Structure 1
Amino acid sequence: MPLLDWVNRNQAEETATNVPYHLLKFEQSYGDKQQAKENLIIQGDNLQALKALLPLYGGQVKCIFIDPPYNTQSAFEHYDDKLEHAQWLSMMYPRLQLLKELLADDGSIWITLDDNEAHYLKVMCDEVFTRNNFVANVVWQKRTSPDMRSTLGAGHDNILVYAKHFSSFKKILKKVPKTAEQIKTYKNPDNDPRGPWVSSDYTAQGFRPNQMYTITTPNGNKYTPPAGTCWKNIEEVFLQLVNDGRMWFGKDGGGMPRRKTYLSESEGQNAWTWWTNAEVGHTQEAKKEVNNLFGVENTFDTPKPERLLERILHLSTNTKDIVLDSFLGSGTTSAVAHKMGRRYIGIEMGEHAKTHVIPRLEKVIEGEQGGISKTVNWQGGGGFSFYTLGNPVFDDNGFLNAEVKFKDLASYVWWLETKFALNQTENFDNPFLGIHESTAYYLLYNGILGDRRPNGGNVLTSSVLNHLNECHAHDGKRIVIGEASRLSPARLEALNIEFKQIPYSLYGNKAK
């Protein structure tokens, strides 16, 4: 497959690997304390934050929406959108790598861009997510009128959509609810007990011999398929539809057969790639939403309308699914996710994490009625937690940060070994972490064994091994991770135990 090339691409390919794992430092919770644990707002560099999230949420995020800098060569008040082209590509590549690892198997990523970089990013995403997982390029009509300052005014943005695994995503993709205008087209002229309906042509293109029968209408008129067409179903199915009252022949009973589709049985319609501003909002609407929240003097440069995010989350998620936005901006994604009952993670580097995002979500908790609130019947409630980036888990010399707790290290160890996130709801009171692909994992760290020493139980000895067997006996392979081992290599091999020293055996020779 052809690859996109740019200056310093080689370094960009290694950036995600070389970023050290950081701790997330809890700062404050807002709203309901219990629900606040499910929703995270993180202030800090999103590359470091994404790496920090992998051991906690890897493979669990159902929908990622990002609105990265468009690289328009403009300077905005709240962020710099003036990177050299190669720098922009180097900025995006490692972030896409990490975002992919955070996605669930049936998850999807939605990326908004204009034409400055969209086509380059399409090629990059084809590489990171593979072309087979490309879903669509949605065209969002972002304006209500042409930009008179431009030769050809930009009336749209692109929304690139990729799946982690297209076949899995296709199974969970929802339909778009019908609009009020579409609902008005449903009538019930024959007082059908199933309620209002619309009718559709009963012919299909092509020639199928078993679908070329003659239809006799209730008043005796006879019809055969017009040239180049056939009926949509075989005669047996047609007669059953007639018997069920699902065919329409006009008020006099003599018209061309048409099939009824009932409003009560309609789940909506399949989404397509043209999203009008009437359906999902526009930039002026988004600006008004933010102005109403923060005032004109404290507005945000390029927000997205809440209706746009509602459409994306409706199509790709269910209640309680995790939504992530690593270019959070003014907090639209988190606000919409909160109102729709999704869990969310938002990452923002700038000070507007505090000046815009937190105040906005506080208003959401209070029940503000802007944006989609009335549509989803939002009444307030819920909570979220605010975090900043803490110190790296390992320093440059490979030593553990003193602030690292057992569960912190367990999360990183489990991710490094299995590429799955550790169950964060479990309270660990012994070294056993779990079983992955028939291998049992144990972590000796932070005095997890209490008085079973030496060194607080961080060293594998015969006594410690006996206790591991008490914690969880396992007949297959076992991996024990700790500070050191006092057991000989021959004995470890005989017991089918692999010992890994923190951190060198985990990372090669680097604590990254």
Structure 2
Amino acid sequence: MKALEQEFTGKVKCVFIDPPYNTGSAFEQYDDGIEHSLWLSLIRDRLELLHRLLSEDGSLWITIDDNECHYLKVLCDEIFGRINFVANVVWQKRIQPDMRATIGAGHDHILVFSKNLSIFKQKLNILEQTEDQRNRYKNPDNDPKGPWISADFMAKGFRPNQMYEIVTPSGKKYKPRPGSCWRNIESVYQTLLSENRIWFGKDGDSVPRKKTYLSESEGIAAWTWWTNAEVGHNQEAKKECNALFGVENTFETPKPERLLRRIIHLSTNPGDLVLDSFAGSGTTGAVAHKMGRRWIMIELGEHCHTHIIPRLKKVIDGSDPGGITEAVNWRGGGGFRYFRLAPSLLETDRWGNWIINKQYNAAMLAEAVCKLEGFRYAPSDEHYWLHGHSTEQDFIYVTTQTLTHEQLQALSEEVGASRTLLVLCLAYRAASPDAYPNLTIKKIPQAVLSRCEYGHDDYSLQVENLPAAPPPMPEPEDEPTERKPTRQLGFDL
């Protein structure tokens, strides 16, 4: 993820992650008192980076079970701020109880945090009504505006200008119940009445209710209870994977495409960028692609090649008929680029000093340093010193040479007064770097040491990869001591 920071900071609209829970036998060789803190310390680094990648109207969605949910909520509060907590969605992940458990877990949590809640609220989409919800609209009075549903015209609270008397068509009179008032002031009520938007029941003598027409309904707001009938369940997700990869090559813990469809629908619009840094079987990318979103997925496991890439190829060529394909009328198209994480730019020599990795040739080094320094790599055929640019007048030059005063002076003259050049070299000999007003000179590797994490090969969240807890100290043996006479305390009764 660190490689994304320069280009995508503040540009990701939705982050969805399904991190590994790390429970069970993996903890046997670790200090039982620190397993949660170890897991949380690993996830913290990722959350801090994800927070920086999110746009101001962006949001984070994390699926998690009961084992870590409440610890994770507190950690997210710290990083995102409690004010930016949106919801704890309860997803019904099973269709029947697990008879092996004391009390079967029928749900997972989806923790939702925003980068800026006030902005996120304005951008959050609503849900389309389901067929069952649309069927609740009726038209018992043959209203020409079509089917409608009604809601109580009373509201809680006391507002003096909403405490008038209403007379029904049958002549019955109503006033608000104690502790309530009418939903609108009297002039608004009269307008609604004239538009036939008030319903008094089939006999015309019931407490007034306000009509809402199906033709005027744009949808419904999401809430925190997501049933498996609406967004799928674990068994559905497993069937989707079996159809894609075969039973012998299935994925253990996939999420159903319908679940990702709801998350992406609520939090993004077509063209927005979706990120999943625990890509798993590739569900997030597949669903985002079918919904017309841009996406980035990150995966360290071998299933990147066995599951994700084959799955996305099927999505692109239109040969994936499952999941949400029919619901969104997906017929194929688009494409994706695949990148492999480069070896560490820096490594340590036998004395522990940072040096440039020998696997990097000159072009690889220049491209890597351009990225770390915020320049676009675009080597010039005309100027040997032009490896990239950040603006039309600001350029970068990367070399492993030791530059002399004469070389720097010649370089400064060739660059010219109207341009600036960032020079990164192994070393330089000059009376003062200020002698070249259009050059900024830095040494490598020192200049890039703080830009990234080097010499680290394993970025997984597997607890097996963590340092083992130190072995317990042996209990000291009791040494025989000479018994001394004790002082007696006497009381004269």
User: Normalising by the residue count of structure 2, what TM-score does the alignment of the two structures yield?
Assistant: 0.77
State the superposition RMSD in angstroms: 3.3
Distance 1:188 1:261 in 2: 11
Please state if 1:382 is matched with 2:382: no
The 1:200/1:454 distance shift into structure 2, 3 A limit, reads farther
The 1:454/1:366 distance shift into structure 2, 3 A limit, reads farther
Match of 2:295 in 1: 344
Structure number with the bigger relative contact order (C-alpha 8 A, sep ≥ 6) is 1
Mapping of 1:91-170 within 5 angstroms?
Answer: 91-170=42-121
Q: Which runs of 5+ in 1 are unaligned?
A: 1-49, 76-82, 415-421, 447-452, 470-478
Shift of 1:364: 1.3
The amino acid of 1:504's aligned partner reads Q
Distance 2:123 2:431 in 1: 50
SS across alignment from 1:385: coil
Q: Which runs of 5+ in 2 are unaligned?
A: 27-33, 349-353, 381-385, 400-404, 455-493
Shift of 1:303: 0.8
Shift of 1:306: 0.7
- Identity, in percent, stands at 55
SS across alignment from 1:168: helix
SS across alignment from 2:341: strand
Match of 1:404 in 2: 364
Distance 1:454 1:99 in 2: 46
Shift of 1:487: 9.1
246-255 or 137-146, larger mean C-alpha shift = 246-255
**Contact persistence 1:96–1:128 (CA under 8 A):** yes
Distance 2:422 2:338 in 1: 34
The 1:407/1:126 distance shift into structure 2, 3 A limit, reads same
Match of 1:300 in 2: 251
Please state if 1:362 is matched with 2:313: yes
Shift of 1:333: 0.9
Shift of 1:230: 0.8
**Contact persistence 2:397–2:424 (CA under 8 A):** yes
| Alignment deviations for residues 38-74 of structure 1 (CA, whole Å, 9 cap, x no partner) | xxxxxxxxxxxx0111112122111111111112216
| Alignment deviations for residues 336-358 of structure 1 (CA, whole Å, 9 cap, x no partner) | 11111111111111111111111
Distance 2:176 2:49 in 1: 55
Please state if 1:504 is matched with 2:446: yes
Distance 2:217 2:441 in 1: 58
**Contact persistence 2:150–2:211 (CA under 8 A):** yes
The amino acid of 2:8's aligned partner reads Y
Match of 1:269 in 2: 220
Distance 1:265 1:203 in 2: 21
Please state if 1:464 is matched with 2:415: yes
Distance 2:276 2:452 in 1: 30
Distance 2:133 2:35 in 1: 46
The amino acid of 1:443's aligned partner reads I
**Contact persistence 2:86–2:117 (CA under 8 A):** yes
The 1:183/1:454 distance shift into structure 2, 3 A limit, reads farther
Distance 1:373 1:459 in 2: 61
SS across alignment from 2:181: strand
Please state if 1:281 is matched with 2:226: no
Compare CA radii of gyration and give the structure with the larger one.
2
**Contact persistence 1:62–1:316 (CA under 8 A):** yes
SS across alignment from 2:364: coil
The amino acid of 2:258's aligned partner reads R
The 1:511/1:307 distance shift into structure 2, 3 A limit, reads closer
Shift of 1:375: 1.1
